[in-house]
Structure 1
Amino acid sequence: MSDFILARVSQTLANEHSLELLVRQLLEMLELVTRMESTYLTRIDLSAQRQLVMYAHNSSEMTIPEGFSVPWNESLCKRAIDDNCLFSNDVASRWRSCIAARELGITTFFSIPVRLTDGSLYGTLCATSRQKQPYNLEGEQVMGLFANLISHYVEKETLVEQLRAANSALEMHSCTDELTGLPNRRALFKHLSTIFPRARANCSAIFC
C-alpha cells in the first residue's frame, strides 16, 4: 500500500468527525487506487430485504446514484458474497441474471462486505466500471482496510448515540417526581435561568 494512501487515511481519520465525511473521503481515495469509475458504500437491511446506496463517488460517465435501492436477493453484492467472489471483470457473463447490474452497465465489479465486530452484515464497499479492468491486489487490500475502518466508525457512532440516549433518559428520570410524574425541584432549579427572565417580562410571581 502506497505511503500516499496511508498518509491520506491518517489525515482523514484525524480530521473527519462524522461517518458521511469519513466515507466520502475514503471513496475518493478508493477510486484512485482501484481506477474504477464509481465507488460506493451500501447499507443492507436484512429484515426488509433491501440494499441501499448510502454514499457514492462517481468520477466518469458511470453514475451510481445515492439512494438507489434494490431487493437484496436481486443485488449484485449478494451474488458476490454467495459465490465468495470479490472481483469480476465479466459481470454480464458471470451474473447474467442480475438486472440491476445490466441496467447500470456494470462490467467490472469489486466488492467487500462491511461486517461489525459481532459478525453481522452492515453493508458492502464497492467499486464498479463500465470498462473491463484488471484485478488490482492493492485495490483489494485498500478496500479491506477501508471496510474495517467504516465498521469501527459505525460502531463508535452507534455507541455514542446509545450513551446520549441513556444520558437523556437518566436526566429525565432525575428531574421527574416518582409519585406524580411531574417535574421536581431539580428540574425547576435547572431552568431558573430561563424562568426568571420570562417571569420578569410577564410580571409573574414564582413559587418554589
Structure 2
Amino acid sequence: MAAAEQLYPSFPQPADEVHRLAALHRYEALDEACGPDFDFLAELASRLCGTPYAFLTLVDGDRTWFNASHGQSHDSLPRGQSYCSLAVLDGEPTEIPDLQRDARTMHMPMTVEEPGMRMYSAMPLMSADGHAIGTLCVMDTAPGRLGAEQRNLLAGLARQAMRLIEARAHQKALRLAQKELELLATTDELTGMHKRRSLLHRLQFEIARARRFRTPLTALMIDLDHFSQLNEEHGHSLGDKVLGEVGRLIRENVRVIDIPGRLGGAELCVLLPNTPREGAHKLAENLRAKIEAQVHYEGARRITVTASLGVGLFDDMQVKDADSLLRAAGEALDRAKAQGRNGVAS
C-alpha cells in the first residue's frame, strides 16, 4: 500500500514537479532558508496583511516544511495535508477565503484542529528558472480576503524571501569553492599530504607552540629506498601509484594532530606535536614495517618497496628552529640510509 501511495500520490502535483524539486534542492533551501531573517519576513507579512499567522513554507516531494513562522509554530505536514501543496501547482498567487467551505481544504488538519484556520493567502517562492519551491503565506481564523495593497505587499515580501534564499545559496557555494581552492593550495594531489609550502607553514606554528608551552616536537623524514630506480624500471606512472599508496598508508596511521607532508620527490615528512623522541621512533618503526609489508600491483605483478626514516627532535638548544629541526631529521635519514636502508635512525 505504501509503495502504491508513492507511485500515485494522493495530492495533485504540478506538471514540472521533477524540475521544481530539482530547483528546491539546488538551493539547498530546506537547510538554508531558516533563522531570524526568515522569521522576520514572516512576522512582517503577518503585520502588513493584518493576520495573526504567517509562514514561509517549502514544499518537498512528500512533505511541506515550515521553515519560518509567526503566531504558531509548525515543523512539517504531509504534503497532501497542507494548503501550500495547492499553492505550488501553477506558480500563481493562491487565496482561499473560507477553508471550511472549500472541498480541497475542509478536512485538512490546520482547518479542523485548533485554532481552526479559515482564510489562506499565499504568494509562491519562484526560483530563477520559474519553479514554485514554496510559499510565503498568511492565515486567519476568520474567513476573508486580502486587499489589493496587502496582496502586493505579500508578493514583494515573497520576492525578498526568494532573494534571501538565493543569496544564502550563493554564499554557501562560495564558501565551498574557497575550501576547494584552499585544499588545492595546501594538499599534494598525489599523496593527499600537505604540500611543501603548507607543511613548512605548519612547522613554524608548531615550533612556536612547542617553545611557548615547552612541549616536545619531533619530525620524521621518510624517503622511499631506490625510488628513482623504480621509476626507471617500471615508469613514472607506477612510481606515482606507489607514492600515492604510501602517502595514504602514512595518513591512515598517524594521529589527527600529526601533520604529514611531501617535501618533494619521494621525500615525505611527518610533524609530530607533543611527541618525545621515543614515541616518534616507535611510530617511525611502525610506519617502516607497514611500508615494507604493503603490496603494490603492476597488472598481476606484485611490487614492494622499503623506506628509510630519520627522527629529528626540537630541543630549543641545538635544534632551535624549523630549519634545524628538518636538518636534524634529514641527517638522521642519511644515517638510516648509510646503515643499509629500510631502517630508522635518530
Q: Which runs of 5+ in 2 are unaligned?
A: 1-32, 218-313, 315-324, 328-346
Give the aligned residue type for 1:121.
Answer: A
What RMSD, in angstroms, separates the aligned Cα atoms of the two structures?
2.3
The 1-side partners of 2:56 and 2:201 are apart by: 43
Mapped to 2, the partners of 1:186 and 1:44 lie a distance apart of 48
Q: TM-score, normalised by structure 2?
A: 0.49
Alpha-carbon displacement from aligned partner over 1:150-198 (angstroms, at most 9, x marks no partner) = 1111111101111111110121122112222211222223334531222
Q: Specify which of 11, 36, 40 is matched with residue 25 of structure 1.
A: 40
Q: Is the 8 A contact 1:30 1:39 kept in 2?
A: yes
Find the aligned partners of 1:50 and 1:70 in 2 and give their Cα distance: 6
Deviation at 1:128, TM superposition (A): 0.6
- The corresponding residue for 1:86 is 94
Q: When the two structures are superposed, what TM-score results if normalisation uses the length of structure 1?
A: 0.78
Aligned-partner residue type, residue 113 of structure 2: E
Superposed displacement of residue 19, structure 1: 6.0
| 2:326 aligned partner, one-letter code | F
Q: Is residue 139 of structure 1 aligned with residue 139 of structure 2?
A: no
Runs of at least 5 residues in structure 1 that lack an aligned partner in the other structure: 1-17
Q: For structure 1, which segment, 93-102 or 28-37, has the greater mean C-alpha deviation from structure 2 after superposition?
A: 93-102
- Counterparts of residues 97-176 of structure 1 (less than 5 Å): 97-104=107-114, 105-176=116-187
Verify the 8 A CA contact 1:19 1:153 in the aligned structure 2.
no
Contact 1:41 1:53 in 2 (8 A): yes
Q: Secondary structure at the match of 1:202?
A: coil
Matching residue's letter, 1:90? D
Matching residue of 1:207: 326
TM superposition outliers: structure 1 runs of 4+ over 3 Å: 80-85
The amino acid across from 1:53 in the alignment is: F
Contact 2:57–2:66 (Cα < 8 Å) also in 1: yes
Provide the rounded CA distance (Å) in 2 between the counterparts of 1:188 and 1:85.
57
* Paired residue type of 2:53: S
Q: 1:85 to 1:123 in 2, by over 3 A?
A: closer
Q: Please identify the structure whose Cα radius of gyration is greater.
A: 2
Identity of aligned residues (%): 24
Q: 1:53 aligns with which of 43, 48, 66?
A: 66
**Alignment correspondent of 1:177:** 188
| Greater Cα offset, 166-175 or 92-101 | 92-101
Q: Residues 73 and 191 of structure 1: is their aligned pair in 2 closer, same or farther, counting only changes over 3 Å?
A: same
Contact 2:87 2:93 in 1 (8 A): yes
Question: Is 1:72 equivalent to 2:79 in the alignment?
Answer: yes
Residues 110 and 126 in structure 1, CA contact (< 8 A), matched pair in contact too: yes
For these two proteins, the number of residue pairs brought into alignment is 183
* Larger RCO (CA within 8 A; separation ≥ 6): 1
Paired AA for residue 42 in structure 2: L
Contact 1:115-1:121 at 8 Å conserved across structures? yes
Give the whole-Å Cα distance in 2 for the aligned partners of 1:125 and 1:183: 47
SS at structure 1 position matched to 2:101: helix
Taking the aligned partners of 1:149 and 1:183, their CA distance within structure 2 comes to: 43
